[in-house]
Structure 1
Amino acid sequence: MTATTTQDTSGGVPAREISISEFGAQKAQTILANSGKENAGVRVFIKSGGCSGYQYGMAIDDRELEGDLIVVDRGVKLLVDRMSLPLLRGSEVDFVENMMGGGFTVNNPNATSACGCGSSFRTDGSQSPDGEGSGGCSSH
């Protein structure tokens, strides 16, 4: 298995491929502790679709796959597959709460436009993959 692992041991905030906010880490640690999966982490990935072309996905995962980037930030293991990494590089996973509830979100510096619901995005010059993404936010 060839995976790249990065761990924050300096106590500082080094430049990293992907990170998680303090509040996001608190929420993720609670969810991971209740998942029943040993050594689980948060898998962050990109799939085609959504109203802006790409859509974020997240899952609790206890598998480390070949080619995964594995980052441990604020005590949370983040896993990103090699196909998603270029679109997620420099992103921060966060947890937001509002009147409609709460959920995880991705603050992505690579996104040049995003859907109003915040779960899909497009990068500079990219077309919607496979002709998808022409619908509204409710099409996810």
Structure 2
Amino acid sequence: MKNIINNHIQLTKTAIKKIKSFILIKKNKNLKFRIYILGGGCSGFQYQFTFDENINKNDMLINQENICLIIDPISLQYLKGGKIDYVENLEGSKFIVYNPNAKNTCGCGSSFNI
């Protein structure tokens, strides 16, 4: 049994719509949206996103509007209370995290420090 938690990280309506669109394109209903933190980036840590079928032993699952978000416990501690959005503008399109735990973020929005 996996750890199911809710309300620790929110997905915006725009992010949910885009995730569902990507899953339809991939034609694989078993895909889940994974967010994780890596060391590096402009500000110390960077956000990473991928679609994944595999759920690791300690992963946490967050369900929102038929979307399953996978996050490992270490990444969760840095993202708790955050919100994931999807933006399209002149600079391109990407998932972006609004992280209340970040003290500083870089200009590109994909890295932060605590």
TM-score range normalised by the length of the shorter chain: over 0.9
Structure 1 stretches of at least 4 aligned residues deviating more than 3 Å after TM superposition: none
Partners of 1:35 and 1:66 in 2: how far apart?
Answer: 25
Q: Is 2:57 aligned against 1:66?
A: yes
How many Å apart are 1:75 and its aligned residue?
2.1
TM-score by length of 1: 0.77
Amino acid at match of 1:122: N
Q: Aligned Cα RMSD in Å?
A: 1.3
Q: Give unpaired runs (5+ residues) of structure 2.
A: none
1:49 matched to which residue of 2? 40
Amino acid at match of 2:4: T
How many Å apart are 1:50 and its aligned residue?
0.4
Between structure 1 and structure 2, the one with the greater Rg is 1
Q: Is the 8 A contact 1:38 1:62 kept in 2?
A: no
Partners of 1:65 and 1:38 in 2: how far apart?
Answer: 18
Partners of 1:96 and 1:76 in 2: how far apart?
Answer: 18
Partners of 2:64 and 2:104 in 1: how far apart?
Answer: 27
Percentage of identical aligned residues: 33
Partners of 2:41 and 2:9 in 1: how far apart?
Answer: 22
Between structures 1 and 2, the one with greater strand share: 2
TM-score by length of 2: 0.93
Q: Give unpaired runs (5+ residues) of structure 1.
A: 8-15, 124-140
Partners of 1:6 and 1:37 in 2: how far apart?
Answer: 24
